[in-house]
Amino acid sequence: MFKMGRNDRCWCGSGKKYKSCHEKSDEANLSKYLSDGYPIPDRSLILNPDQIDGIRKSAKVSIAIMDAIGGMIGEGVTTNDIDALVSKMTAEAGGIPAPLNYYGFPKSCCTSINNCVCHGIPDDTKLKNGDIINVDVTTILDGYYSDMSRMYTIGEISEDAKNLIERTKEMMYLGIDTIKPYMPVAEIGNAIHDKADEYGYGVVRALCGHGVGLDFHSEPTVNHFRSNAKSMILVPGMVLTVEPMINAGTWDVEVLEDEWTVMTRDGSLSAQWEHTVVVTETGAEILTI
């Protein structure tokens, strides 16, 4: 099913041969999707317990960085100050900031303020009272990637901004709670979009979550908007991000001339939260918490 020999060691890390461990259950759970034309993950996307533990160790660095940002961020702090902290703490932990020089991205993290949806480039911009900001950090440690982002608030923010932040976080966790083994990945986005409709928000369609762990970006594509497409089936051992980008206005966005910074087209506020999760035999485990 996953290009595995029947006598190979099972993907789950049990140490047993595949034929005496998960072969029958994989066939039973996936055969109906194969016959209906759904994409089935390649064996390379199913990580073993040692690899998942490597991602957990990387995630500890990312979490510590996020906590430290929460302690230093405030009025007058520049996004370059945030980037310098990310760079310093990553290096001290023996890691590498994955965004730095990734397809030419010039900084160690992304800092996206107010109506910036994502991929904001740190610079000398000073944070001011009423701002909301997303900081997105991806750490490489011993070859393992952990990806996460959090929202931070500066001083007194509007009630609308507060609601957007809290509801976007709610939608991220709703997407994570939706995950079950042997389901199409599109179900994550369907659940998130249903909730966004209740709030009257726009779900960004131009960007998505993704597989992560051994690479910065891999399959599966994790859309956060509604889709009836036959999407890849999730199986235990797959690692991916759930990271809905939610706009207070419409879903539409535009990319600035720097070819990185994504803004809401209508100028409305945007929020995003992100966790790296692993699909388990009963649901999903958050690795970046």
CATH code for the domain of 64: 3.90.230.10
Percent of the chain with pLDDT over 90: 86
pTM of the model: 0.93
The answer as to whether 267 is a domain residue is yes
Q: Render pLDDT for 3-44 as a digit per residue (tens, 0 to 9).
A: 667 888 887 778 888 888 888 888 888 888 888 899 999 989
> What number is the average pLDDT over the span 56-83?
98
The answer as to whether 250 is a domain residue is yes
The answer as to whether 121 is a domain residue is yes
Instruction: Tell me how many domains the chain contains.
Output: 1
The answer as to whether 2 is a domain residue is no
The answer as to whether 1 is a domain residue is no
Say yes or no to pLDDT of 2 above 60.
no
pLDDT confidence of 76, banded at 50, 70, 90?
very high
Residues paired with residue 285 on neighbouring β-strands, in sequence order: 278
> What number is the average pLDDT over the span 202-209?
98
Averaged pLDDT of the chain: 95
Mean pLDDT check: name the lowest of 2-11, 169-178, 221-230: 2-11
Let me know if 24 is exposed, middle or buried by CB neighbors in 10 A (0-12, 13-18, 19+).
Answer: exposed
Structure confidence at residue 21 (pLDDT): 87
The answer as to whether 235 is a domain residue is yes
pLDDT confidence of 1, banded at 50, 70, 90?
very low
Mean pLDDT check: name the lowest of 42-46, 52-56, 149-153, 158-162: 42-46
> What number is the average pLDDT over the span 182-211?
98
The answer as to whether 238 is a domain residue is yes
Domain that holds residue 196: 35-286
The answer as to whether 241 is a domain residue is yes
**Are 106 and 121 within 8 A, CB to CB?**
yes
Q: Render pLDDT for 129-147 as a digit per residue (tens, 0 to 9).
A: 999 999 999 999 999 999 9
Mean pLDDT check: name the lowest of 19-28, 95-104, 192-201, 227-236: 19-28
Q: How far is CA 77 from the centre of its chain?
A: 26
Structure confidence at residue 6 (pLDDT): 83
